[in-house]
Amino acid sequence: MTLPAAKREHRKGAPLRTPMTLEEKVGKTLAELGATDAKGVETLFAEVRAAMERERQPLVAQGVPEGDREKISKALRDRWLARKSGLISLVDENWLKRSPKELKPVVGRHFNELRQFSSRMELEQLLKDVPAQLQRAVASPMGQHWQGAVAIDLRPDLTLPGYQRPLGSIHPITRVQREIEEIFLNLGFSIETGPEVESVYYNFDALNIPDSHPARDDWDTLYVDAQTVLRTHTSPVQIRAMEKHGAPLYIIIPGKCYRHDNPDSTHSPMFHQIEGLAIDTDITFADLKGTLDFFARKFFGEKVRTSFHPSFFPFTEPSGEVAISCVFCDGQGCRICKESGWIEVMGCGMVHPEVLRHGGLDPDRYSGWAFGLGIERYAMMKYGINDIQLFYQSDVRFLEQF
């Protein structure tokens, strides 16, 4: 009977070969360790992660004296993360940089995962985890790590409650947009959307905005090229919807718009708008006034009053501005309404016949009305916000109020 070579050497008095330590392994190349394929690389990196967790657990477990925790934490951090002699640096130097070309992608992926995993060895994280995580000794050797005479159970305790991740809240702009949409959906309108990068034809020409109009200048509009713009309003969707659906048509159009404005407390180069469009036979200005009056009372409260004043827009004729009684002073006059008792909230008017023609509809048969409002302005009024920039700064202290 032939004995294995190791046993033959042992019989002759030669010592058995001991396994390599982790320090010895990270000091060798992958070729020297016999890792010539993805499976071998994965096994080695898994062994490093397991060793890291084994050394970390006794520190964050019960049994480490309070006075020694910072000293032990620093020593553990330096052992793994020191820039020159740390184990992670040796893995980078000997496994990643000296890996063969065909294994580079696999080694790189595993090394990135290892670096993310090693963040728990940072001194601040170790000290944070020390008092929070307590382990208990168990009789079974399965899943244990021994530190001196203390056995630490590394298996997860399935009886502990799960992590509760904090949930965010709906952004105030989205909240106001949904509230406006809900009012008009209940009136029988539907929601229509369109592209934010728009052609000059849909953004200007089809809406009866002539070449001489100042809105077409490049100090007011953001041009992609001579024939393409970032839409300055959601009105282009009116034409697209008429072309797509014909008449009768009852839609609202929410979305982002862009203008060449310098940001300040009331202006932003990007903002949100909602437009409404109703097209049918026998539509009159009285229908427009009744609908917008109903909307204002639903959004701002039943006590609100509306007022309509003449204005001018190229795509509506006649055109008007809608004002509501000041919601801050109940129409008595204050600093916000400039002592007038009224606040302008939107523009509106009867759809211009040329706009109907560009949408493929006969203005002799159909008529319609449209309105447009800025969502940020409504949100500022509803929540008493005095700076539009707060909506875009992602300050959690501001957003968590909603």
User: Mean pLDDT over all residues of the chain?
Assistant: 84
Q: To the nearest whole percent, how much of the chain has pLDDT over 70?
A: 85
Q: What DSSP assignment string belongs to 91-132?
A: IIIIIITTS-GGGHHHHHHHHHHHHHHGGGGSHHHHHHHTTT
CA separation for the pair 300, 302 (Å, rounded):
7
Six token digits for residue 203: 């953004």
pLDDT, residue 145, reads 44
Whether the model clears a pTM of 0.75, i.e. scores above it, the answer is: no
Q: Which of the four pLDDT bands, split at 50, 70 and 90, describes residue 68?
A: low
Averaged pLDDT, 109-120: 86
Of 257, 269, 277, 261, the residue nearest 194 (C-alpha): 257
pLDDT at 183 over 80: yes
**In the numeric block, which tokens belong to residue 72?**
């032990």
Give the pair of three-digit tokens for residue 308: 């309509």
Q: How far is CA 137 from the centre of its chain?
A: 43
Which among 319, 341, 327, 331 has a CA at the least distance from the CA of 381?
327
Residues sharing a CB contact under 8 Å with residue 37, sequence separation 6 or more, in sequence order: 103
Predicted pLDDT at 329 = 87
Residue 67 confidence (pLDDT) above 70: no
Would you state the pLDDT for residue 19?
A: 79
Backbone angles phi, psi at 306, to 5 degrees: -115, 155
What local confidence, expressed as pLDDT, does residue 185 receive?
96
pLDDT in tens, 226-249: 999 999 999 999 999 999 999 999
Q: Which residue has the higher pLDDT, 128 or 221?
A: 221
Q: pLDDT higher for 49 or 134?
A: 49
Give yes or no for residue 105 having a pLDDT over 50: yes
| CATH architecture type of domain 172-399 | 2-Layer Sandwich (3.30)
The residues with which 14 forms a beta bridge, in sequence order, are none
In one-letter notation, the amino acid at residue 336 is I
Q: In DSSP terms, which residues pair with 147 in a beta bridge? A: 150
CA torsion 12-15-17-22 (nearest 10°) is 180
In order of 40, 65, 147, 296, the CA distances from 131 in angstroms are 37, 11, 18, 56
The interaxial angle of helices 285-300 and 172-186, nearest 10 deg, is 130
164-181: per-residue pLDDT in tens? Answer: 777 778 899 999 999 999
